[in-house]
Amino acid sequence: MNIIRSNFSDLTDSQIKQYESLMRLYKSWNNKINVISRKDISDLNIRHVLHSLSIAKIIEFIPETKILDVGTGGGFPGIPLAIMFPEVSFHLTDSIGKKIKVVKAISNELGLKNVVAEQIRAQNVNQQYDFVISRAVTNMTDFIKIVDGKVSTSSQNSLANGILYLKGGDLTNELKQLKNVKTFNISSYFNDIFFESKKIVYLPMPCKGRGNQLADWNFPLLI
């Protein structure tokens, strides 16, 4: 927990208590339903919580922002960000029911009123959001197709609406077809070796009033 407090110094007492509870809750639930690799559970605060919170280093979501977390798994990055931004709405989705069961239970035990967890494929979500977030569920171009039509064109945050994607490794080939994409090295914010190759990929929403949204993401589609 100290590593979270040292990187985010303005947490409220309530937030500190919620972050402190994460290790206990995830260890307990992971013994029943394996949603986190057992070799990672001891490094939960770095590999999952702090990794999720890297998004908060590049944007401070304003109240009433709406966020879709695709393929949330055990609740990452959605739950740590929901603690950080209690006035922001988070819709956490995953196609696997047992993972959503854990997410719902942990959200309830933390008292998070700004989280809705749902077992659903992202393609079947029929709402629009300011941002779509995820942790490397697939390659970027496929992910864009999955979330097509789910990002609102009306922006009000410091970054234009779009995708915030946590991913590691060399992304040169994966991103070379995309225009306006920007990457942030997480190692610039956190100095643990785990973050050495980890990045936040930010892809803003295409301009309002354009035609085919998928085409407007500016890469050749192979559908």
pLDDT given for residue 206 in this prediction:
67
Q: What is the mean pLDDT of the chain?
A: 91
Distance of CA 66 to the CA centre of its chain: 12
DSSP assignment letter at 101? H
Give the chain's length. Answer: 223
pLDDT given for residue 43 in this prediction:
93
The pLDDT tens digits for 49-91 are: 999 999 999 999 999 999 999 999 999 999 999 999 999 999 9
pLDDT band at 213 (very low <50, low <70, confident <90, very high): very low
pLDDT band at 205 (very low <50, low <70, confident <90, very high): confident
| Structure-derived torsion over alpha carbons of residues 146, 91, 136, 217, reported in degrees to the nearest 10 | 40
Cα Rg of the chain (Å, integer): 17
| Structure-derived torsion over alpha carbons of residues 217, 204, 137, 173, reported in degrees to the nearest 10 | 60
Give percent above pLDDT 90 in the chain.
79
The pLDDT tens digits for 26-60 are: 999 999 999 998 878 999 999 999 999 999 999 99
Q: Does residue 208 have a pLDDT over 60?
A: no
Cβ contact 51:9 at 8 Å: no
Q: Which region among 9-13, 97-101, 178-182, 187-191 has the lowest average model confidence (pLDDT)?
A: 178-182
pLDDT given for residue 216 in this prediction:
55
Q: Does residue 220 have a pLDDT over 80?
A: no
Per CATH, the number for 2-208 is: 3.40.50.150
**CA nearest 95: which of 67, 66, 124, 127?**
124
Predicted TM-score of the model (pTM): 0.92
How far is the C-alpha of 137 from the C-alpha of 175, rounded, in Å?
15
How many CA atoms within 13 Å lie on the side-chain side of 45?
A: 17
pLDDT given for residue 159 in this prediction:
96
**pLDDT: which is higher, 108 or 40:** 108
Most confident of 1-5, 181-185, 208-212: 181-185
